[in-house]
Amino acid sequence: MIAQSQSQEELRDLYRELILDHARSPRHFGKLDGATHSAEGINPLCGDKLKIYFSIDADGRISDAKFEGSGCAISVASASLLTDTVIGLKTEAALDFFSAVVSRLSGRMEDGERPLSKVDLGKLIALEGVKEFPSRVKCATLAWHALNSAIRNESETVSTE
């Protein structure tokens, strides 16, 4: 049955091995003591709730990042991949990733984001499967919105609604 295999293929594209691996064994999971920046992200639709922490040096470099909370496989994997990606980056570079991920997954640029063309998403490309699942884009971008909020020092909770 063609339909069967096509929809299964899309599902497997969404739940790629890398995503399932990060969802089951999230990297940098837990509270970061001595964090200089943090923000919470909530997706009221499905109850995803993540808090993300950063230690940012005086010269604007992210020396450490961790997250805690609970959520679906997509939101947890995305947060895990985020921490893997941004540790060691300057905040400007991390924000470039934020813009690139959000625009790539949602197919639009949000107000105030820098136009981005040259960011190599690397393994973050694994999140791209959500493009076929519009209701799940918010899950994939939740941690990234929290990153944006934390770095810009908007300490209030970010909601995807």
Partner 1 sequence: MTMSEQISKVTELATSLSGVAKCRQDFPCLAQTISDHPLVYLDSAASSQQPLAVIEKVVDYHSHDHANVHRGVHTLSHRATEAYEGARDLVQTFINAGSRSEVVYTSGTTESINLVAQSFCRPKLAPGDKILITHLEHHSNIVPWQLVCEQTGAELLVAPINEAGEVDIDNLFRQLESGVKMLAIAHVSNALGTIMPLREIIEKAHSLEVPVLVDGAQAVPHISVDVQELDCDFYAFSGHKMFGPTGIGILFGRETLLDAMPPYQGGGDMILEVRFDGTTYNDLPYKFEAGTPNISGAIGLGAAVSYLQTVGMHAISAHEHELLQYMTGQLDQVDGLRLIGTAADKASVQSFLLDDIHPHDLGTILDHQGVAIRTGHHCAMPVMDFYGVPGTARASLALYNNQDDVDRLVAALTTAKEIFR
* Binding of residue 3 to partner 1 (CB under 8 A): yes
Q: How far, rounded to the nearest angstrom, does the alpha carbon of residue 71 sit from its chain's CA centroid?
A: 12
In the block, tokens 């837990």 appear at 30
**Is beta strand 37-43 parallel, antiparallel or unpaired with respect to 158-159?**
parallel
Are 68 and 50 in contact by the 8 Å Cβ rule? The answer is yes
Among 72, 89, 116, 119, binds partner 1 (CB under 8 A): 72
Least distance to partner 1 from the beta carbon of 18, Å? Answer: 14
* Binding of residue 62 to partner 1 (CB under 8 A): no
- Given the rule CB under 8 A, which of 8-16, 80-88, 100-108, 144-152 is the region that contacts partner 1? 8-16
- Please identify, using beta-carbon distances, which residue of 40 and 64 lies nearer to partner 1: 40
Kind and range of the H or E run holding 21: helix 17-24
- Given the rule CB under 8 A, which of 10-18, 26-34, 57-65, 81-89 is the region that contacts partner 1? 10-18
- Given the rule CB under 8 A, which of 25-33, 53-61, 68-76, 94-102 is the region that contacts partner 1? 68-76
d(CA 158, CA 12): 29
- Given the rule CB under 8 A, which of 81-89, 100-108, 117-125, 132-140 is the region that contacts partner 1? 132-140
- Please identify, using beta-carbon distances, which residue of 12 and 114 lies nearer to partner 1: 12
Find all residues with CB under 8 Å of 134, minimum gap 6, and list them: none
* Binding of residue 22 to partner 1 (CB under 8 A): no
Find all residues with CB under 8 Å of 35, minimum gap 6, and list them: 53, 54, 55, 64, 66
